Amino acid sequence: MADTRPRWQPVLLGVVGLALVVALPSLVSPFRLNLLGRYLSLAIVALGIDLIWGYTGLLSLGQGIFFALGGYGAAMYLQLNCHSCSRAAGGLPEFFGLYGVQQLPWFWEPFHSPWFTLVAIWLVPAVVAGLLGFLVFRNRIKGVYFSILTQAALLVFFNFFNGQQKLINGTNGLKTDLTRLLGQMVGSDAMQRNLFWLTALLALLAWLLCRQLVRGRFGHALLAIRDDEARLRCLGYNPTPFKTMVFALAGGLAGISGALYTVQSGIVSPQFMAAPFSIEMVIWVAVGGRGTLWGAMAGALVINMAKSLVSEAWPQTWLFIQGGLFLLVVTTLQGGVVGWWQEGGPRQLLARLGRRPRLSTYPALELGTRQEGEN
Amino acid sequence: MPAPGPPLLELAGVNVSFDGFLALKNLNLQLAAGELRAVIGPNGAGKTTFLDVITGKVRPQAGDVRFCGRSLLGRNEHQIARLGVGRKFQSPRVFERLSVQENLALAVSAPKTPMGLLRRHLTGAQRQRIHHLLEVINLAPRAHDRAGSLSHGQKQWLEIGMLVVQAPQLLLVDEPVAGLSDAETERTADLLKSLAGNHTVLVIEHDMEFIRRLQTRVTVLHQGQVLCEGSMEQVQTDPRVVEVYLGAGQEQQS
């Protein structure tokens, strides 16, 4: 039935979207553009959460781990290539001087290479997620126990990173604003504009990848795991590799998201692994719509934009609004806004307001004639 | 019919207890290749537990389960399924968010691994099987509808279709005709009979008319043990069976 929609619709949407993304830097101030870029990068982590939670039914409260790992990867590369800040400390990033560190820690070494960094940004979080996931899923841990485990892992990473001044500047995090990338200051307007475009491109690619995955039988298997895992086992499927793969993929997406967020916000710190942030990520997806992909992205984008606008006007109110949104989704809009839309929510709302729309014929009635003869 | 070759499925001395309650007591049962076997028994006789043991969901405390000469103990559900044991659950369990065709496609896919599914296309033979099964289970007009929108009976058939399309050697069918109309029940019986020979089929059912229609060997379970075995006529006249099962069942339609 979906095929009857006119072909030009997605094309038009794509053209408008592309024009908007290209034109946006000249339409809004660099400050707003930077915020938009950050939120767009958060849409990528939301995509991963939608895959693991919306499609596969595993609620991860620890995506901050992978998000931060990606961010640290990018920041370490930039710090190493920051000639002005490292000259003082004998080739080492400046902060090492504060703690009397003379030798670059071993795991920093490969981050001299831009190619290694580009791979590590997504591969390291994906491998960490894959290992964690494999151990958890192999032991058939799911449901709320999985959520608690991911939250606990988040706290472990948070505390560990906070305590490692001599390795990664602990609580203070790593700054990227004053570093250089391809000869330009990362914090400069021109660089931030390029990063905005890069984020938009990667968000699009991430969405295409996820859509491709969930459309075919692989995606159907994920839904089957979510809805009735025991049944799927009896069909001959082992859910563990599916879950591990999706969790690793969500981790990799979180890493890319974290790296993009870091270079646009100018710093990565263990605060990326604070528990409330990972829970917020889940709220974006829940409000936008689980299992819809673009609902998750829109949720991340819109909620964060609303957050910054509301906080500018009424600084104290945002948390109440966010809490209210979450309650609304939990109690009435279980499919999120996009889910509500797809299930015919607007029509029902109109009907409830007294504008009863015409009922269309129940489609199955017309097709069911063959079965009638047998009863 | 005595089995000519070695049994395809053999349960020997199987004991299962749940917190001290013996669901299966020293259960012994053999199934020959190509056989169609009906298992009946009153509620609580251990019929579903018996299937759980074969499919690996429940691990017996004692005894052995052998399939094609290999022990199934210690294997996971999916490994047992891949060896060629398919199961239809008591209340129909289909994936309601997926369409009828997508349900069948998941069942027919091979290999059932992430990479196997990502290689996008089903083979022509697999498509053919799905197409054929859609006709057999009478759901071709509903192929693209969500399975959740089907009636109870249609879900039963969809699940039978998912079972058959997997092409397992052994089909374990738990209450296939519960909630079906008489005509559908007849068709289901004919379908299962036509499968026997090429497949080995074990049916659990309460509907005596249906069992009679299968015209096959019947095993009666009672309190976790095999009470007796034989044709429907033999079983029906066995005084022990009459006492525990049929006597209480008040058959009307025979």
For A187-215, write each residue's pLDDT tens digit: 888 889 999 999 999 999 999 999 999 99
Question: Would the pTM count as exceeding 0.90?
Answer: no
Which residue, B87, B75, B74, B105, is CA-closest to B47? B87
**Has residue A159 been placed in a domain?**
yes
* Residue matched to tokens 């398919």: B86
Q: Read off the pLDDT of residues B32-63 as tens digits, 9 standing for 90 and up.
A: 998 999 998 888 888 889 999 999 999 999 99
Q: Is residue A94 very low, low, confident or very high in pLDDT (cuts 50, 70, 90)?
A: confident
Q: Which of B79, B106, B141 sits opposite A224 (nearest CB)?
A: B106
Pairwise CA distance, residues B14 & B63, whole Å: 4
Using the Cβ of A235 and the Cβ atoms of chain B, whether some distance falls under 8 Å is answered with yes
Residue B96: band (very low, low, confident or very high) from pLDDT cuts 50, 70, 90: very high
Which residues in chain A have Cβ-Cβ distances shorter than 8 Å to B112?
235-238
The more confidently predicted of residues A209 and B197 is A209
* B139-to-A220, B142, B149, B167 alpha-carbon distances in Å: 20, 5, 12, 19
Structure tokens at B210: 């249906």
What's phi and psi for B225, nearest 5 deg? -130, 160
User: In this structure, are residues A67 and A104 in contact, taking their beta carbons and an 8 Å threshold?
Assistant: no
pLDDT at B2 over 80: no
Instruction: Provide mean pLDDT across the span B141-170.
Output: 91
User: In this predicted structure, what is the pLDDT of residue B4?
Assistant: 55
Kindly provide the ipTM of the predicted complex, given to two decimals: 0.87
Residue of B113, B141, B162 with shortest CB distance to A241: B113
Residue A372 has pLDDT above 70, yes or no: no
Q: Model confidence at A370, in pLDDT bands (50, 70, 90)?
A: very low
Least confident of A64-68, A354-358, B52-56, B191-195: A354-358
What pLDDT is attached to residue A86? 53
Report the alpha-carbon distance of residue A64 to residue A261 in Å, rounded. 12
Pick the residue from chain A with its C-alpha nearest to B78: A236
Question: Given an 8 Å threshold on Cβ–Cβ distance, is B55 in contact with A242?
Answer: no
Confidence at residue B236, expressed as pLDDT on a 0 to 100 scale: 83
**Do A171 and A162 contact (CB within 8 A), yes or no?**
yes
Whether the pLDDT of residue B203 is over 80: the answer is yes
DSSP readout, B155-168? HHHHHHHHHHHT--
- Give the best residue of B78, B174, B187 to mutate against chain A (max A CB count within 10 A): B78
> Smallest Cβ distance to B117: which of A218, A230, A370?
A218
pLDDT score for A373: 38
**Interval B109-133 mean pLDDT:** 88
Query: What share of chain A has pLDDT > 70, as a percent?
Result: 90
> Would you place residue B136 in the very low, low, confident or very high pLDDT band (cuts 50, 70, 90)?
confident
Closest CA to B146 of A49, A69, A140, A1: A1
Region of poorest pLDDT, from A91-100, B109-118, B126-135: A91-100
Q: Do B112 and A236 touch (CB under 8 A)?
A: yes
Domain boundaries, chain B: 9-91+168-249
Does A359 have pLDDT greater than 80?
no
Look at residue B252 in the predicted model and tell me its pLDDT. Answer: 42
Task: Tell me the H-state helices in B62-207.
Answer: 77-83, 100-108, 114-118, 124-136, 152-165, 182-195
Topology given in CATH for the domain delimited by B9-91+168-249: Rossmann fold (3.40.50)
Q: Residue B231 above 50 pLDDT? A: yes
Using an 8 Å CB-CB cutoff, list chain A residues near B162: 235
The answer to whether residue A65 scores a pLDDT higher than 80 is: yes
A370 contacts chain B (CB < 8 A):
yes
Examine residue A187 and state whether it is found in any structural domain, yes or no. yes
Tokens at residue A287, please?
């409000």
pLDDT of residue A97: 82
Dihedral angle computed from the Cα positions of residues B87, B91, B97 and B100, in that order, rounded to the nearest 10 degrees? 60
Average pLDDT over residues B79-83: 93
In Å, how far from its chain's centre is CA B231?
Answer: 19
- Give contacts of A371 with chain B, Cβ < 8 Å: 138, 154
Residue A154 has pLDDT above 70, yes or no: yes
Lowest mean pLDDT among A274-288, A323-337, B74-88: A323-337
Is residue A269's pLDDT more than 80?
Answer: yes
The answer to whether residue A113 is domain-embedded is yes
Min distance B236 CA to chain A CA atoms (Å): 30
Indicate whether A125 pLDDT > 90: yes
Average pLDDT over residues B223-229: 88
Nearest to B112 among A1, A237, A368 (CB): A237
C-alpha distance from B186 to closest chain A C-alpha (Å): 11
Mean pLDDT across the stretch B78-88? 92
Q: How would residue A362 be classed by pLDDT, with cut points 50, 70 and 90?
A: low
Residue B44: predicted pLDDT: 81
Is A245 touching B (CB cutoff 8 A)? yes
Chain A environment of B145 (Cβ under 8 Å):
364, 367
- Which tens digit of pLDDT belongs to each residue from A27-54? 889 899 999 999 999 999 999 999 999 9
d(CA A209, CA A285): 18
Domain that holds residue A165: 33-274
Q: Are B166 and A237 an interchain contact pair (Cβ–Cβ within 8 Å)?
A: no
How remote is the C-alpha of B13 from its chain's centroid?
A: 21
Does the pLDDT value for residue B210 go beyond 60?
yes
pLDDT at B166 over 50: yes
pLDDT confidence of residue A202 = 96
Residue A127: predicted pLDDT:
97
pLDDT, position A122: 96
Q: What is the pLDDT of residue B250?
A: 47
* pLDDT attached to residue A4: 53
Q: CA end-to-end span of chain B, whole Å?
A: 25
Q: Is A72 on the interface with B (CB under 8 A)?
A: no
Q: How many domains does chain A have?
A: 1
Residues whose CB is less than 8 angstroms from the CB of residue A303 and which lie 6 or more positions away in sequence, other chains included: A283, A284, A287, A288, A322, A325
Nearest CA in chain B to A225: B95
Band of the pLDDT at A265, cuts 50, 70, 90? Answer: very high
Q: What is the mean pLDDT of chain B?
A: 87
A155 — pLDDT class (breaks 50, 70, 90): very high
